[in-house]
Structure 1
Amino acid sequence: MPETASVPEHVDPSTDSGTGLLADEFLDLPVASSEVVFHGAIWDVRQDKFLYAGSQITREYIDHTGAVAVLVLDDEDRVCLIRQYRHPIATREWELPAGLLDFAGESALSAAQRELAEEVDLVAADWALLVDFHTSPGGNNEALRVYLARGISDAAEVFERTDEESEIEKRWVPLDEVVDAVLGRRVQNSILAIAALAAHTSRARGWSSLADADSPWPQHPVARRLARSE
């Protein structure tokens, strides 16, 4: 199993303007109103009215709790994949073990460890931050954090899975083959694609891009909202 290189010091993207470093920029715009206009079984739809470039703009979006995913890599550089039915696209697609944060402020690492055990009955001894991203910033505020997990063993308990998870199929696939499937457009899950390409690139660079598993997550909209309210 490759050793994790020293963790680089990450730059807060809200403070690097003008340095030439490519990074997103935080903007906390004046919000005239914000209300939930639809309460769903899993997500709500929120409507915000905010000021931008001298105009008031109205936008609706899915107000998301945030989520985590785990790219599990074994000693043979194989990735643990699951195939699960996703109703909005009517597809049983290949994915990484993943799940929602259960409540605002929940530890992302704890959530990832929980999802790994519940979805594929595994635990890991070595955790590192692989990549952060927003899944669809034009329509929701979902922030996604993907961990690299190594040092794998079986969980003490086998979880009972229900609904779409009741027929999860698990497969171990070499990382290179996962990347080939992404580039060949045979798998379409965005989390899997981004994570596999990030892991493949990081491995080629001696895992130098990995960060500490407990790294702050300033890009998470809920975390930003909580910070503004303090």
Structure 2
Amino acid sequence: MTTSGHRYEVTESQLGYQGRIIAVRRDQVSMPDGDVSQRDVVVHPGAVGVVALDEAGQVVLVHQYRHPVGGPLWELPAGILDVPGEPASLAAARELAEETALRAERFDVLVDVWSSPGMTDEAYRIFLARGLSEIPVAERHVAEHEEADMGLARVDLDEAVARVLRGEITNAMAVIGLLATVRSRADGFAGLRPTDTPWPGRPAHSG
């Protein structure tokens, strides 16, 4: 429903494709002019990302191959919500550990995003992680697939933002997370939300 009061009712829905992670759903939706129009929706489980900020003011970035764009991108530690009902903050901690071998004493909600609402229901929540420490070697996750070739770097936050503005960091989650972190830092991180803040985009993973 919108401010006009029109209800965009789905009159018919079909599953057009089911993949390992995503699906494509074809909905017939009633429009305000009385017509019915098809809307194709990429159905996505949702994701989390982490801006891991150390005491020196550096952020942890990963360099990961992304097949759809045919090359590696500098990104935040991140991953999909593939454990049913797992709180987003726990998923974020797990992804941080698996991709960077780091733990954090504190997580806060930084920003919530609909990645591309004209075509997908993908939502992601980005956390700010602080109080970083390394996980002992014997307890570290064994990487596989693209993660086995993943690079890792710590970059000064201001330099990371400069790389965003130079077009060197182009992953959307990374761009949003880094810029949000700089803005949050400007007021001493006073506006951050606790990890149990409700998440309308993925209510089953709030917490």
TM norm structure 1: 0.81
Give 1:50 deviation, angstroms. 1.6
1:88 has 2:68 as partner: yes
Larger displacement relative to structure 2 (36-45 or 70-79)? 36-45
* Inter-partner Cα distance in structure 2 for 1:56 and 1:105: 35
Does the Cα contact within 8 Å between 1:65 and 1:103 map onto a contact in 2?
no
1:166 has 2:156 as partner: no
1:130 has 2:110 as partner: yes
Q: Deviating runs (4+, > 2 A) in structure 1?
A: 103-106
AA in 2 matched with 1:197: L
SS in structure 1 of the partner of residue 124 of structure 2: strand
What are the superposed Cα offsets for residues 53-72 of structure 1, whole Å, 9 maximum, x if unpaired? 13212111210000000000
Percent identity over paired residues? 41
Measured on the aligned residues, the alpha-carbon RMSD in Å equals 2.0
* Inter-partner Cα distance in structure 1 for 2:176 and 2:109: 13
* Inter-partner Cα distance in structure 2 for 1:105 and 1:52: 34
SS in structure 2 of the partner of residue 105 of structure 1: coil
* Inter-partner Cα distance in structure 2 for 1:131 and 1:86: 23
* Inter-partner Cα distance in structure 2 for 1:197 and 1:64: 25
What are the superposed Cα offsets for residues 178-213 of structure 1, whole Å, 9 maximum, x if unpaired? 000001111111111000000001101221221011
What are the superposed Cα offsets for residues 14-58 of structure 1, whole Å, 9 maximum, x if unpaired? 9xx8xxxxxxxxx97321122321011221111111212132121
Larger displacement relative to structure 2 (92-101 or 211-220)? 211-220
Q: Structure 1: 5+ residue runs without aligned partners?
A: 1-13, 18-26, 225-230
Q: 1:101 aligns with which of 81, 87, 106?
A: 81
Give 1:87 deviation, angstroms. 0.7
* Inter-partner Cα distance in structure 2 for 1:113 and 1:186: 26
AA in 2 matched with 1:146: I
AA in 2 matched with 1:175: L
Map 1:26-105 to 2 at 5 A.
29-53=8-32, 54-105=34-85
* Inter-partner Cα distance in structure 2 for 1:34 and 1:208: 44
What are the superposed Cα offsets for residues 66-125 of structure 1, whole Å, 9 maximum, x if unpaired? 000000000011000000000100121100000000145331111111111111111111
AA in 1 matched with 2:108: A
- Cα gap change, 1:136 to 1:202, in 2 (>3 Å): same
* Inter-partner Cα distance in structure 2 for 1:167 and 1:28: 48
Does the Cα contact within 8 Å between 2:21 and 2:45 map onto a contact in 1?
no
Q: 1:212 aligns with which of 191, 194, 201?
A: 194
* Inter-partner Cα distance in structure 2 for 1:131 and 1:66: 14
* Inter-partner Cα distance in structure 2 for 1:50 and 1:62: 15
Q: Structure 2: 5+ residue runs without aligned partners?
A: none
| Number of equivalent positions | 199
SS in structure 2 of the partner of residue 212 of structure 1: coil
